[in-house]
Structure 1
Amino acid sequence: MSAVDATVRGAARSRRDAIAGRVVGRERELDLVLAAVAAGRDVLLEGPPGTSKSTMLRAISTNWGVPFHLVEGNGELTPARLVGHHNPARVLQEDYSDDNFVPGPLVQAMQSGGFLYIEELNRAPEDTLNVLLAAMAEREVVVPRAGTVRALPTFRLLASMNPFDNIGTSRISDSVYDRWCRLVVDYQDDREERAIVAARTGCSDDLLVADAVAITRATRVHPELRRGSSVRGAIDLVAIAVELEAMDVRSERTQLVLDASMLALSARIAVDETSEATAEQVITEIWENHFFSHPGVRRRDRTA
């Protein structure tokens, strides 16, 4: 290996380590995403919510020193909203010109060499996705009456989608898939999720964090749920439980966790259409199994 090669590899490794310091776990996924964007490729991340997809991308853009533009994919994300539009009032006075064009997030990202991140890509209309195809293939976009916008070298198109959610979504065509480097991102393991919850809440109560993560993870495999909670549920559960303890409500510890679970998780889970159970009944069952049904599990019933 030449001295130049060693220097380049060392710099790349140093940059990778700096980015990894901003993300809990996700070493393999981070390496793959970083390699793709460094190679000038656009990336589509597929996976459920709350799996650190945007965290990884923000960490990379911060390290690169480029803007991060976040757009939510939905039926209202028209080509005009994505690309931009001419100011109607000024058009009436001045006619169309470059000066009265208001750039949308796609043009802003291209002109600044930033990352454009589209959440829930499969919720965007088909004609909007077609605009993305041109930007990805040619690294430029034609704006009517304003000319052609060409992207700076660091511009990247990034997107995420939840393949398990079929409500309000549309099928992604093969021509769209063909433009992306695709990576499947699943939930992190128990250890990493506990580290995330502790970091996000600042909670030093390891037992509470462990309880919250265990209950939240159990929602993902419960037979009567078609959707479980992401780690955001565990984060909120801990934050609420800490505040309940501070209020000195004199509940048993286990009851306090149940109350916090109801508040933090009931909106984040979805009961299967064939089940007669309610979200509250399922959460109660998971709570009972966690604290009272597993052999060898110590009851944590100290009062707040």
Structure 2
Amino acid sequence: MVATRRARRDAIADGVVGRRRELDLTLAAVSAGRDILLEGPPGTSKSTMLRAITANWGVPFVLVEGNAELTPARLVGHHNPARVLREDYSPENFVPGPLVEAMQGGGFLYIEELNRAPEDTLNVLLGAMAEREVTVPRVGVITALPTFRVLASMNPFDNVGTARISDSVYDRWCRLAVGYQDAGEEADIVAVRTGLPTGSAGSGSAAAQLVADAVAITRATRSHPELRRGSSVRGAIDLAAIAAELAKLGTYPERERLVLDAALLALSGRIGVDEASDVTPEAVITEIWENHFFSLPGARRRESTG
């Protein structure tokens, strides 16, 4: 039994870069029949872990965006208006929402940005979590299959358009704090998503250098004093992919300038300048680029890609 569980865990881990501890904890929670709240910044493989588990289990993965438009009716479902006019209300003309879809399919309902959802929607959700069933008017009681789970995520560092999560909501979930992965794992993620190789910046491979530069510049945005929000690894993925395409054009005599333009395009919309600062995103990215290539101890001018 233990060997079987480890084999399944290893099979799930094959679809996730790093995150072994977090994957083990998440897998343990859902295997124990518990719901889990993943709390951390975007781009930290939260949904990737859950998709890997559902794929291995063979159950649906139902994704919902938490926002003001996620009303109870949108979450649970509604009766088809045209059919109601013709046939009156009946179970046959009920259109399941994501909650009912996940319950009937025994899948994972995953709500991104839970703290953006309205309070009355959360109340419906908590009832379904507690009872594993929901009562739909003119349809009846819908009972979830045993593999049904409710998973959610939230970014604790973003307060725009969010609401405070009450203690009663927290009490329903196991909570797992998820931080950024280390530089090596982020480089592996960029390589997987772009098809570029990994390696140290001095490895001699121009493509591997692009990956290393993209990860280093992106990670530097998370600790810059002028920024309240840095970029996730998605910024590094786009930076590397764009830089690789620019290199193919052959119009950049200097590799450093190529990386700068790719960084400005990939990162300027993903970072948030502190409200008390009067700098622009472009100025911050340019500063980080200068530090990476020219100013940091041991930095040296890199060879151009030609």
What does residue 291 of structure 2 align with?
Answer: 289
TM-score, normalization: structure 2? 0.96
Distance 1:250 1:101 in 2: 58
Distance 2:58 2:302 in 1: 47
What does residue 177 of structure 1 align with?
Answer: 170
What does residue 27 of structure 2 align with?
Answer: 34
Residues 192-225 of structure 1: per-residue CA shift (max 9 Å, x gap): 0001001110012221111100000000000000
Distance 1:272 1:228 in 2: 11
What does residue 11 of structure 1 align with?
Answer: 4
1:183 aligned counterpart, secondary structure: strand
1:99 aligned counterpart, secondary structure: helix
Q: Post-superposition shift, 1:89?
A: 1.3
Q: Post-superposition shift, 1:260?
A: 0.1
Runs of 4+ in 1 over 2 A off after TM superposition: none
1:242 aligned counterpart, secondary structure: helix
What does residue 63 of structure 1 align with?
Answer: 56
Q: CA RMSD in A?
A: 0.8
What does residue 212 of structure 1 align with?
Answer: 214
2:92 aligned counterpart, secondary structure: coil
Is 149-158 or 248-257 further displaced after alignment?
A: 248-257
Distance 1:251 1:165 in 2: 40
Q: Superposed, which structure 2 residues align to 1:132-171 within 5 Å? A: 132-171=125-164
Residues 71-114 of structure 1: per-residue CA shift (max 9 Å, x gap): 00000000000000011111122111100100001000000001
TM-score, normalization: structure 1? 0.96
What does residue 120 of structure 1 align with?
Answer: 113
Distance 1:193 1:303 in 2: 23
1:117 aligned counterpart, secondary structure: strand
1:49 aligned counterpart, secondary structure: coil
What does residue 92 of structure 2 align with?
Answer: 99
2:135 aligned counterpart, secondary structure: strand
Q: Post-superposition shift, 1:39?
A: 0.3
Structure 1 residue identity aligned to 2:274: D
Q: Post-superposition shift, 1:250?
A: 2.9
Distance 2:214 2:14 in 1: 24
Distance 1:251 1:268 in 2: 27
Distance 1:97 1:130 in 2: 25
Distance 1:165 1:250 in 2: 37
Distance 1:299 1:32 in 2: 44
Q: Tell me, which stretches of 5 or more residues in structure 2 are unaligned?
A: 198-206
What does residue 274 of structure 1 align with?
Answer: 276
What does residue 77 of structure 1 align with?
Answer: 70
Distance 1:162 1:256 in 2: 32
Distance 2:221 2:257 in 1: 18
Q: Percent identity?
A: 77
Distance 1:78 1:147 in 2: 20
Q: Post-superposition shift, 1:303?
A: 4.0
Residues 145-176 of structure 1: per-residue CA shift (max 9 Å, x gap): 11010000000100100011111101111111
Structure 1 residue identity aligned to 2:3: G
What does residue 228 of structure 1 align with?
Answer: 230
Q: Tell me, which stretches of 5 or more residues in structure 1 are unaligned?
A: 1-7
Q: Post-superposition shift, 1:231?
A: 0.3
Is 226-235 or 242-251 further displaced after alignment?
A: 242-251
Distance 2:250 2:119 in 1: 53
